[in-house]
Amino acid sequence: MASDLLLKIGSIVLLLGGLIFVHELGHFLAAKLLGVKVLRFSVGFGPKLFGLVRGETEYQLALLPLGGYVKMAGDDPHEEVAPEDVGRGFLEQKPWRRFIIAAAGPGMNLVFPFFLYLAMSLGQNGKLAPGPMVGTVTPGLPAQAAGLRPGDRILSVTATGPEGPQPVRYFADLRDLVSPHGGEPLRFEVQRGDRRFDLTITPDREQEQNPIEVTTRGVIGVSPAYPPAVVAPVVPGAADGLRPFDLVTRVNGAPVAHAGDLEAALASAACRPVDLLVRRAPADDPGAPLARHATLQLAQVPSCAGGKPSFTLADPSVAAFVGGVAAGGPAARAGLRRGDAIVAVNGKPIHSYRDLNALAGEFKAGVAVKVDLAGGRSVTLEPQEQSYVDELTRERQKRVVLGFQPEQLQLPDPNALLAEQVRIRIGPGEAAGNAASHLGEVVRVTVLGIARIVQGQISFKTVGGPIMLFSIAAQAAQEGIESFLFKMALISVNLGLMNLLPIPVLDGGHIMTCLVEAVTRRRISVRAREIANLVGIVLLAMLMIAVFKNDIMRLMG
């Protein structure tokens, strides 16, 4: 318990203390570079623990580590500059010089994440990543329509333009190459066994919505992981002894790790009955973890019925079987049962839960929805409105629900489903490019998020304060060094951008003062500075009260 508390305290000190040190280091270096005298560089606030003097500057460590400051000669208009420091005081400097010193702190917070992202990128060398082999082909999407199959390896992607074929080393490369080209035909070089061939696939345009923006990306419907070998009879009784959501672990004695192994085993059986070893959830607790599932031997299970497979995959990525039904909800009242296979909703074909999710915006409370099931059965249900509390803002929201959900099996090792894993190999140049690209995107999204909050399009209740930062730092420390560095970079960008806001007493206020003086060619009076600083302090105090309230509301749940 004590060690856990020390880890949490240490993580917040390292994260916030480190970022504030970087911020103040920017001011310090810029002042030194421009010849402004720096009297003290303090890491932390409050009483001095120890310090030393080097040259004309005192370097000290103070008691409270969550802060720091740079004390420059002549930065207080009420203090006289010592005779020997005349010309080297901060407020004596021309506006452009003070602009550089003020902007250097936030600038360091915006540059520092580049080196964190660079370190994380180079740190991936030698680690395993999903390779370019296809595991899942989502039904109803362009990849399936073009003939791409599980087990195919995608070697390159060619878009219209002068670039030529772009190699696919990792599955992440495939996403990056396809995403910008929704609606545009792409040529894929594919390897299937010993054969190589080309396929032309036109990605669908898919909208992604988050609290900040709506974006459009291209998707073809593939995944680097096979679905788990979770099965269900095509129609009740088609596969004697098999029940919906049984996990097949062996076929005729051969081990089955995922759907790829199951498909190969059934192909070898050539429609003959098969002996299956399955894991089955307890009847009284369908959502129980895998450790509580019973192991059953099923002998001579029919693999075909009427020349067609008698059972099929029941994973929500490739099928739409009903997993859980909410008691008293719309689905339960309509007669939907666990194991029902949905084939259409309001006449629109349903291949997987992806299709159901895409229709979610069309459902209205009280407006009947017709659901067609495998075997020719149909039910009609009326969606209902459900209230819930948003985890981040603690605001009460409403959503429309149908009252059923997919079966989600929690496997002990999801990596066992990957079709292929390859070693990451990345050089310094590529790592630097990735870091710069990642940083640019984080800055863009953060600026957009701040603008949405100012415009009232995003609730201010999403903003957090010290308690939220403590929680983030503690969680990141427990997740490992990579998570810690990633969140440190994200908070550094936020800290840098927030400090650029034109609020007096913040760096943005100093920058605005410099710009006004540069345009008007006259100094702002001491009285005007005092009033502006007072306004800034009041604004910051109000902001801190508001974010503390948000933190406390989240803490209390």
Tokens 């017709």 locate to 370
Asked if residues 325 and 279 have their Cβ atoms less than 8 Å apart, the reply is no
Report H helices in 216-321: 259-269
Sign of CA dihedral 52, 54, 57, 61: negative
Catalytic residue among 24, 58, 163, 184: 24
* Torsion angle, alpha carbons of 213, 216, 222, 227, to 10: 30
Q: Output the six-digit token pair for 222.
A: 């593939």
d(CA 20, CA 70): 11
Asked if residues 27 and 105 have their Cβ atoms less than 8 Å apart, the reply is yes
Q: Output the six-digit token pair for 478.
A: 């427990």
**Residue 526 vs residues 38, 127, 515, 523: alpha-carbon distances, Å:** 22, 58, 17, 9
Q: Output the six-digit token pair for 84.
A: 């020997």
d(CA 490, CA 500): 16
DSSP 319: -
d(CA 406, CA 412): 19
Tokens 């006259």 locate to 522
Residue 24 is among the residues annotated as catalytic for this protein: yes
| Closest-CA residue to 498 (of 488, 508, 485) | 508
Tokens 């909800």 locate to 329
Q: Looking only at Cα atoms, what is the longest distance across the chain?
A: 101
**What backbone torsions phi and psi does residue 137 show, to the nearest 5 degrees?**
-110, 115
Residue 106, amino acid = P
d(CA 520, CA 83): 29
The residues assigned a catalytic role are 24
